[in-house]
Amino acid sequence: MFKNKGLFLFNLQSAIYILQSLVNTDGWESTQNAWKKLFPNISLILCFLHLIIGIKDHIRRDKVLLKSLSDKLWNIYKGSNKRQFSQRLRRFWEWSMKEILPSKVRSKIEKAKANSHQYQQGYNYSRCYRTSNQIDRKHELSRPNSLSNAIFSRVN
């Protein structure tokens, strides 16, 4: 795996603790099933940023709609608790049903509403990441020839 196998020791104790409690996922069912199979008691939290990016990808050319949807989505994300998040998502869904939106955007909004409980899981943990942005940045550090010491500890 590594050129000098003895140089680095993965901090398994921390990794196992994290993996047995929370994972922020992109929403792919196969990814979620794999996590659940490996760690049956895990809490899966859907990444809200993936929802926003998925919607934006289908409306990039319509700057007015893009701005409107982005503002509404980030307002949902900023809900201070499960109830507020859920209510804002429901109101957003109701608003979207009255608007003329591309079918792919509408289906993403429908899916978000159906998966509301998975987005809300983040509110059960006080300092939980509800987007994978912070996690993705740490993942970048784990690539070869990068700052491996951010994830691995040197064995003396």
Between 38-47, 49-58, 65-74, 112-121, the lowest mean confidence (pLDDT) is in 38-47
Q: What is the pLDDT of residue 60?
A: 85
* 3 in any annotated domain: no
Q: What integer is the mean pLDDT of 131-136? A: 56
Residue 82 vs residue 15, higher pLDDT: 82
Between 31-35, 74-78, 143-147, the lowest mean confidence (pLDDT) is in 143-147
* 78 in any annotated domain: yes
* 51 in any annotated domain: yes
* 95 in any annotated domain: yes
Within 1-94, strands assigned E span 8-10, 22-25, 43-46
Residue 69: pLDDT band with limits 50, 70, 90: very high
Q: What is the pLDDT of residue 148?
A: 37
Total domain count, the chain: 1
Contacts of 46 (CB under 8 A, 6+ apart): 24, 25, 26, 27, 115, 118, 119, 121
* 18 in any annotated domain: yes
Between 4-8, 52-56, 84-88, 122-126, the lowest mean confidence (pLDDT) is in 4-8
- What are the start-end ranges of the H helices in 78-154? 82-98, 103-114, 116-120, 133-141
User: Given a cut of 50, is residue 153 above it in pLDDT?
Assistant: no
Tokens 């409980």, located at residue:
117
User: Given a cut of 60, is residue 137 above it in pLDDT?
Assistant: no
* 1 in any annotated domain: no
Q: What integer is the mean pLDDT of 144-150? A: 39
Q: What is the pLDDT of residue 20?
A: 52
* 81 in any annotated domain: yes
* 49 in any annotated domain: yes
User: Given a cut of 90, is residue 10 above it in pLDDT?
Assistant: no
Q: What is the pLDDT of residue 32?
A: 85
Q: What integer is the mean pLDDT of 131-156? A: 43
Instruction: Give the whole-angstrom CA distance, residue 69 versus residue 106.
Output: 12
Q: What is the pLDDT of residue 128?
A: 67
What range defines the domain where residue 89 resides?
A: 8-154
